[in-house]
């Protein structure tokens, strides 16, 4: 027993020493390079995050088939943080210190990103975050390939306010109780106020993660909607709560033509478990829809369908693609291109090389990583749910929009810089 | 037939397919004016997303069959390059209204009723003449008041003051949420008379609607109560009567839900999909009961009278069960589809829809409760269980095979957990973690109701259901959960034996 303890301690101290001495040039000489995949494969977020793991693996397979990155084969390290936020931080630390990955692709909820952020900043790691979020953050260690509020939430609300969208005058802001919905709704409330919507015409409500009983909330929405003027629901509900929410919406007969609801975290994958016939016309705002027609998207969808079949994934019978999958896929290629430009796996060099990288995205635009603010330029699409669970694009922006992570609708943001504060330089 | 009829307005169809939003709206009006049933079919196709364009041609595509929208001829083979004509919410609303107005003149009473209901939800003022025309002819006592209401709501938007005042009075007599919307708008009208009249009518309508809302809330409370009851009933037997702190109770619920899923998958291949619950209910009971009995024989029976060890052992078992399910079915949620009769809801009051799935679950919970009551009070097993619970040694002395009774009782409790899983699969998500969401609630109900008491469990489940739903309506779901939890902590502090204490000379082990 004692001897084993000693051996363990020895191994541990060796590992710690390795961190200290391990120089980044070591990576370049190796034939393989490790990357981390940090997505929940179980728990309430598994419904959304499992496919992201698979799409990153698909991109890795593609790159490896073409000879890898700078001659090095990519070796993915998949971990399951199980929808448990502190576990995200632990697993991130494990990936960076034990597995010594060059980059991590992961996280969905903002609370998980917030929980790993200190780890990445402390250990100078690199994270590609593929999901739309509330903004209010630019870290030099994170590249955000999902949308900021001005690339999703604000255009969606503007659409519902327009004549085309139904002239909505009253708003229900409904979300899961954590940082993303709270912040997004704060921004939306300020935005709505700037458009002349009174406080009495906004109803804000939150439910816990994994909430499954939406009876009273839907009844509340119905009551609110009948108190005058056209009402729209803005849903920032995350994870598998969406299934009971939409089931209840259908069962209680809330039709999109009367009270449309627009969701920011519901895509093709989340609707897989729902009977979509009663939901026709409810909306989602994203930067990609599976139903978008162009050559890139067709090719990408085919790749994904083939991949799910080859790997015998559970969704092979009905392969779906969605926005965060697209963002995750773009992320992997952005990193690859940046590594090749930097000719190094060193985080600081790759970071600089990532600025201004472009990629021909399945959404039909050429996505560009901003030169400064770590966010992608994205086009915005608004889709209505069809009876088959796909989306009809009813509105889109003319071209890519630059992300504004510090929303002008939050006080004090006008003074913040549109680029990460370089902590490394402060230290030196 | 289609070939003989004159082609419908080609210009309108083309505007519908290629025009901008304004042109499309105008085209809908033009098509409705024709009062041609084929125009109605065309509009329906557009709103269903079956209209496509191939070059300059407008097609109605249903599956693999396509017809030309203008001439009505069959188009074969399908042109390869087709694009959907997208109908958004605004367009669909216009079409819905137009079609409903169309159907108001139908000879079939049921069609007219449906149309009148659709129009009552909100109609464009431009349809007023059509509604008036229908009103003149209408004799059906169900449809007429609906149409009158619709006409009033349209007149509200007209300019004539007398007509508006009359409309406001009529709206005041109705109990539809739509009337409230209209009246709420009129309250801030520029005309003082209208403001006062609207205020009065609004109060009347709100009074009526408030009752509906209260009833809806009551139903939500009963519904949540019935779910808590189902989840807790099994535990009331294993923990309440037998005293086993079974942390794997939630996983037995999960096993029931997965059994339902498996049965459902089998039935999807047959034509009797709507009846799969008839098999799923007994199957989930049997599977969960079997798992429970194996657990009892293999692990729990060695740990009677050692609550701490039981707690740890069953907790370990729960983790193993979760992992087993994860390995077999995958970590992601599985999809359990409702049979058709459980989708949708019934309009009980104005503005309150009671979903069928929840109504069935309330009935189901009542049935399960009744069966347990019968088993415990009317059967030999029930007698033995009660005997063993009250005094194990004495029961053993008079020849009750206590070991086997323990097994059967544990199996019964587990089976009921399986039934709960079957019911929960109809309204919530089915995943490996399903049980963890209910284990805390289940213990809360049993402890709050009083250990060893079935009646206490029923009262506790309903009380917690109501408390949760009423608080949710006032303070939101997150605060409601916290308040209920805090309340229970204080309650148990003051009254550790729960709502109802077991009286008598029960011997504590």
What residues of B are in contact with residue A229 (Cβ under 8 Å)? Answer: 181, 184-185
- List, by residue range, all CATH 3.40.50.2300 domains of chain A: 2-16+24-148+293-378, 151-286
Q: Which of A41, A165, A228 sits opposite B184 (nearest CB)?
A: A228
The pLDDT tens digits for A77-102 are 999 998 999 999 999 999 999 999 99
Cα B1 from chain centre? 44
Using 50, 70 and 90 to split pLDDT, how confident is the model at A13? low
Cα A396 from chain centre? 20
Task: State the pLDDT at residue B178.
Answer: 73
CA distance B351 to A239: 29
Coil vs helix vs strand at B446:
helix
Topology at the third CATH level for domain A2-16+24-148+293-378: Rossmann fold (3.40.50)
Q: By the CB < 8 Å criterion, does B48 face chain A?
A: yes
Task: State the pLDDT at residue A1.
Answer: 45
Burial class of residue A125, CB neighbours in 10 A (0-12, 13-18, 19+) = buried
What residues of B are in contact with residue A172 (Cβ under 8 Å)? Answer: none
Using 50, 70 and 90 to split pLDDT, how confident is the model at A428? very low
What residues of A are in contact with residue B472 (Cβ under 8 Å)? Answer: 216-217
**Cβ-defined contacts of B12-21 (< 8 Å, 24+):** B13/B42, B13/B58, B13/B69, B13/B70, B14/B56, B14/B58, B16/B42, B16/B46, B16/B51, B16/B58, B16/B85, B17/B51, B17/B53, B17/B58, B17/B69, B17/B85, B18/B53, B21/A163, B21/A164, B21/B90, B21/B91
pLDDT value at B300 more than 80:
yes
Task: State the pLDDT at residue A69.
Answer: 92
Q: Which of A47, A207, A251 sits opposite B345 (nearest CB)?
A: A251
ipTM confidence score: 0.80
Average pLDDT over residues B355-369: 93
Q: Which of B122, B223, B333 sits opposite A273 (nearest CB)?
A: B333
CB atoms within 10 A of CB A62: 15
- Residue B311 corresponds to which tokens in the numbers above? 């707690």
List A262's β-bridge partners, or say none. Answer: A234, A283
Coil vs helix vs strand at B53:
strand
Task: State the pLDDT at residue A22.
Answer: 45
CA distance B471 to B27: 50
The pLDDT tens digits for B449-502 are 887 778 889 999 999 999 998 998 888 888 888 899 999 999 989 888 888 766
Q: By the CB < 8 Å criterion, does A257 face chain B?
A: yes
Q: Are residues B473 and A223, on separate chains, in Cβ contact within 8 Å?
A: no
CB atoms within 10 A of CB B485: 11
- CA distances from residue A406 to A264, A414, A416, A419, B63 in whole angstroms, order as listed: 19, 8, 7, 10, 48
Distance (Å) from the C-alpha of residue A208 to the closest C-alpha of chain B? 6
pLDDT value at A159 more than 90:
yes
Its pTM stands at 0.81
Q: Which of B185, B437, B473 sits opposite A216 (nearest CB)?
A: B473
CA distance B63 to B73: 16
A172-181, B206-215, B270-279, B433-442: range with highest mean pLDDT: A172-181
Q: Are residues B433 and A229, on separate chains, in Cβ contact within 8 Å?
A: no
Task: State the pLDDT at residue B158.
Answer: 67
Q: Are residues A252 and B345, on separate chains, in Cβ contact within 8 Å?
A: yes
Nearest Cα residue to A206 out of A237, A248, A233:
A237
Only one residue has tokens 């896929």, namely A329
Which range among A49-53, A225-229, A385-389, B76-80 shows the weakest confidence by mean pLDDT? B76-80
Task: State the pLDDT at residue A273.
Answer: 65
Chain B, window 332-371: residues with a beta carbon less than 8 angstroms from a chain A beta carbon: 332-333, 335, 337-338, 343-345, 347, 351-353, 355-358
What residues of A are in contact with residue B476 (Cβ under 8 Å)? Answer: 205-207
- Per the document, the length of chain A is 428
CA distance A75 to A103: 11
- Residue B322 corresponds to which tokens in the numbers above? 């979760």
Chain A, window 161-180: residues with a beta carbon less than 8 angstroms from a chain B beta carbon: 163-166, 177
Average pLDDT over residues A152-160: 93
Q: Chain A: residue nearest B217 by CA?
A: A216
Distance (Å) from the C-alpha of residue B434 to the closest C-alpha of chain A? 9
Q: Which of A41, A210, A256 sits opposite B89 (nearest CB)?
A: A256
Distance (Å) from the C-alpha of residue B477 to the closest C-alpha of chain A? 5
Only one residue has tokens 């009505």, namely B72
Helices A323-342 & A347-354 angle (0-180, nearest 10)? 110
- Residue A271 corresponds to which tokens in the numbers above? 């609707």
Nearest Cα residue to B259 out of B347, B336, B343, B348:
B336
Task: State the pLDDT at residue B4.
Answer: 43
CA distance A367 to B32: 45
Using 50, 70 and 90 to split pLDDT, how confident is the model at A426? very low
Strands B57-62 and A127-129, bridge-based pairing: unpaired
Burial class of residue B357, CB neighbours in 10 A (0-12, 13-18, 19+) = buried
Q: By the CB < 8 Å criterion, does B21 face chain A?
A: yes
Chain A, window 361-400: residues with a beta carbon less than 8 angstroms from a chain B beta carbon: 384, 386-387, 392-394
Nearest Cα residue to B406 out of B286, B507, B302:
B302
Nearest Cα residue to B123 out of B146, B102, B94:
B94
Task: State the pLDDT at residue B253.
Answer: 95
Residue, of B19 and A273, whose pLDDT is higher: B19
Q: Chain A: residue nearest B473 by CA?
A: A216
The pLDDT tens digits for A335-362 are 999 999 999 999 999 999 999 999 999 9
Q: By the CB < 8 Å criterion, does B387 face chain A?
A: no
CA distance A349 to B409: 67
CB A22 within 8 Å of CB A100: yes
Q: Are residues A226 and B429, on separate chains, in Cβ contact within 8 Å?
A: no
The CATH classification number of A151-286 equals 3.40.50.2300
Percent of chain B, pLDDT > 70?
A: 93
Which range among A32-41, A117-126, B14-23, B466-475 shows the weakest confidence by mean pLDDT? B14-23
Q: Are residues B353 and A252, on separate chains, in Cβ contact within 8 Å?
A: yes
CA distance B61 to A300: 27
pLDDT value at B84 more than 90:
no
Q: What are phi and psi of A67, to 5 degrees?
A: 100, 5
Q: Which of A206, A222, A386 sits opposite B49 (nearest CB)?
A: A386
Percent of chain A, pLDDT > 70?
A: 91
Helices B161-173 & B143-155 angle (0-180, nearest 10)? 140
Q: What are phi and psi of B154, to 5 degrees?
A: -75, -40
* Domain regions of chain B by residue span: 10-90, 104-190, 223-439
Only one residue has tokens 């363990």, namely A8
Nearest Cα residue to A112 out of A45, A183, A185, A187:
A45
Average model confidence (pLDDT) across chain A: 87
Sign of CA dihedral A217, B472, B335, A329: positive
Q: Chain A: residue nearest B218 by CA?
A: A216
CA distance B329 to B302: 31
Average model confidence (pLDDT) across chain B: 83
The secondary structure of B78-134 as a DSSP string is PPSS-EEPP--HHHHHHHHHHHHHHHTT-S-HHHHHHHHHHHHT---GGGHHHHHHH
The pLDDT tens digits for A17-52 are 444 444 444 444 458 999 999 999 887 788 789 999
- Per the document, the length of chain B is 509
Q: Which of B90, B185, B352 sits opposite A166 (nearest CB)?
A: B90
CA distance A203 to A261: 14
Burial class of residue B370, CB neighbours in 10 A (0-12, 13-18, 19+) = exposed
What residues of B are in contact with residue A256 (Cβ under 8 Å)? Answer: 89, 92
CB A152 within 8 Å of CB A132: yes
Using 50, 70 and 90 to split pLDDT, how confident is the model at A183? very high
Q: Are residues A386 and B21, on separate chains, in Cβ contact within 8 Å?
A: no
Task: State the pLDDT at residue A284.
Answer: 93
Q: Are residues A257 and B48, on separate chains, in Cβ contact within 8 Å?
A: no
- Residues with Cβ within 8 Å of B243's Cβ and at least 6 positions away in sequence, in order, are B304, B307, B451, B509
């Amino acid at each position: 027993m004692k001897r084993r303890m000693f051996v363990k301690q020895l191994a541990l101290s060796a590992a710690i020493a390795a961190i200290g001495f391990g120089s980044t040039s070591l990576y370049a000489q190796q034939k393989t390079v490790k990357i981390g995949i940090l997505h929940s494969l179980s728990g309430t977020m598994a419904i959304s995050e499992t496919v992201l793991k698979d799409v990153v693996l698909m991109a890795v397979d593609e790159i490896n088939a073409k000879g890898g990155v700078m001659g090095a084969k990519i070796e993915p390290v998949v971990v399951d943080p199980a929808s448990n936020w502190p576990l995200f931080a632990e697993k991130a630390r494990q990936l960076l210190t034990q597995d010594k990955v060059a980059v991590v692709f992961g996280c969905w909820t903002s609370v998980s990103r917030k929980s790993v952020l200190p780890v990445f900043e402390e250990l100078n790691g690199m994270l590609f975050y593929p999901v739309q979020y509330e903004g209010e953050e630019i870290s030099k260690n994170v590249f955000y390939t999902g949308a900021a509020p001005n690339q999703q939430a604000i255009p969606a609300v503007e659409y519902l306010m327009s004549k085309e969208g139904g002239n909505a005058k009253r708003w229900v802001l409904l979300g899961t109780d954590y940082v993303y919905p709270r912040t997004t709704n704060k921004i939306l409330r300020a935005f709505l106020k700037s458009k002349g919507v009174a406080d009495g015409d906004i109803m804000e409500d939150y439910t816990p993660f994994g909430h499954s009983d939406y009876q009273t909330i839907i009844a509340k929405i119905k009551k609110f909607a009948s108190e005058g003027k056209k009402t729209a629901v803005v849903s920032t509900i995350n994870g598998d709560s969406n299934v009971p929410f939409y089931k209840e919406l259908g069962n209680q007969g809330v039709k999109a033509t009367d009270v449309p609801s627009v969701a920011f975290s519901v895509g093709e994958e989340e609707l897989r478990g729902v009977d979509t016939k009663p939901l026709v016309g409810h909306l989602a705002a994203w930067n990609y829809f599976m139903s978008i027609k162009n050559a890139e998207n067709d090719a990408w969808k085919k790749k994904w369908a083939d991949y799910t079949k080859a790997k015998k994934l559970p969704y092979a019978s009905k392969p779906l693609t969605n926005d965060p999958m697209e963002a995750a896929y773009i992320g992997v290629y952005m990193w690859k291109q940046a590594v090749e430009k930097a000719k190094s796996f060193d985080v600081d060099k790759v970071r600089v090389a990532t600025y201004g990288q472009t990629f021909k995205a399945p959404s039909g635009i050429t996505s560009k990583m901003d030169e400064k603010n770590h966010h992608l330029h994205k086009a915005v699409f608004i889709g209505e749910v069809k009876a088959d669970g796909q989306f009809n694009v009813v509105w889109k922006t003319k071209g890519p929009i630059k992300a504004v992570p510090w929303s002008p609708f939050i006080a004090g943001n006008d003074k913040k810089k549109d680029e990460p504060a370089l902590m490394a330089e402060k230290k030196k | 037939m289609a070939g003989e009829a004159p082609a419908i307005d080609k210009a309108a169809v083309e505007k519908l397919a290629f025009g901008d939003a304004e042109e499309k709206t105008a085209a809908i009006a033009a098509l409705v004016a024709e009062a041609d049933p084929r125009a109605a079919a065309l509009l329906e196709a557009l709103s269903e997303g079956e209209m496509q364009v191939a070059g300059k041609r407008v097609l109605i595509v249903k599956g693999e069959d396509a017809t030309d929208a203008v001439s009505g001829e069959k188009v074969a083979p399908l042109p390869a390059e087709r694009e959907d004509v997208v109908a958004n919410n605004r367009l669909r609303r216009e079409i819905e209204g137009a079609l409903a107005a169309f159907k108001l003149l139908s000879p079939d009473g049921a069609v007219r009723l449906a149309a009148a209901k659709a129009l009552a939800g909100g109609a464009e003022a431009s349809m007023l003449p059509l509604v008036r025309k229908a009103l003149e002819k209408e004799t059906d006592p169900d449809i007429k008041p609906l149409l009158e209401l619709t006409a009033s709501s349209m007149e509200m938007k007209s300019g004539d003051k007398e007509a508006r005042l009359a409309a406001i009075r009529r709206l005041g007599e109705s109990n539809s949420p739509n009337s409230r919307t209209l009246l709420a708008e009129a309250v801030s009208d520029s005309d003082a008379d209208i403001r006062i009249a609207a205020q009065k009518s609004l109060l009347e309508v709100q009074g009526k609607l408030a009752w509906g809302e209260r009833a809806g809330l009551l139903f939500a409370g009963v519904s949540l109560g019935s779910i808590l009851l189902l989840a807790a009933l099994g535990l009331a037997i294993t923990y309440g009567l037998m005293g086993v702190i079974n942390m794997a109770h939630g996983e037995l619920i999960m096993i029931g839900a997965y059994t339902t899923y498996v049965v459902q998958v089998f039935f999807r291949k047959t034509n009797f999909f709507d009846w799969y619950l008839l098999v799923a209910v007994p199957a989930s009971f049997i599977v969960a009961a079997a798992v429970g009995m194996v657990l009892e024989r293999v692990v729990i029976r060695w740990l009677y009278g050692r609550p701490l060890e039981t707690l740890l052992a069953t907790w370990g078992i729960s983790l193993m069960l979760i992992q087993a399910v994860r390995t077999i079915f995958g970590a992601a949620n599985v999809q359990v589809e409702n049979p058709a009769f459980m989708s949708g809801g019934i309009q009980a009051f104005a503005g309150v829809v009671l979903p069928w799935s929840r109504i069935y679950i309330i009935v189901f919970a009542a049935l399960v409760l009744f069966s347990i009551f019968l088993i415990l009070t009317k059967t030999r097993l029930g007698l033995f269980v009660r005997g063993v619970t009250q005094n194990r040694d004495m029961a053993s002395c008079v020849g009750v095979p206590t070991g086997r009774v323990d097994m059967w009782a544990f199996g019964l409790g587990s089976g009921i957990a399986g039934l709960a899983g079957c019911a929960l699969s109809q309204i919530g998500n089915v995943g490996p973690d399903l049980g963890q969401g209910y284990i805390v609630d289940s213990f809360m109900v049993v402890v709050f109701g009083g250990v060893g008491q079935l009646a206490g469990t029923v009262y506790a489940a309903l009380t917690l259901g109501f408390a949760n739903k009423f608080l949710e309506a006032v303070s939101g779901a997150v605060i409601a959960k916290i308040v209920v939890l805090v309340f229970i902590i204080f309650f148990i502090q003051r009254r550790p034996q729960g709502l109802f204490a077991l009286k008598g000379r029960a011997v504590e082990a």
